[in-house]
Amino acid sequence: MSDDMTPDTEPAGSLVPPAHRPPTAVGAPDVPPQPPLLPRMRRAAPPVLVEALERILDTLDDIGDSIARVAGIRRDAEPGGG
């Protein structure tokens, strides 16, 4: 009776167990994470722009000193901001 229930063998079958495959990740995100941002590089301002900005700020400072002297807020200061 046991001869009738035995399945046929495969012609190319091997006795080695199948290769182990890691389990599928079910909870993984659909898209990969974004790469980290690189630090921004500061560029030096052109010397002409820096010089123009310094002149503008010096002029505004002189105007503010003049207004302060006229309004009596500040005593006569030394020229040049001393």
pLDDT in tens, 25-39: 677 667 777 888 888
3-state helix, strand, coil in the chain (%, to 5): 35, 0, 65
pTM equals 0.40
| CA 82/CA 76 separation, integer angstroms | 11
Q: Can you tell me the mean pLDDT for 58-67?
A: 95
* Unique residue bearing structure tokens 């309004």: 71
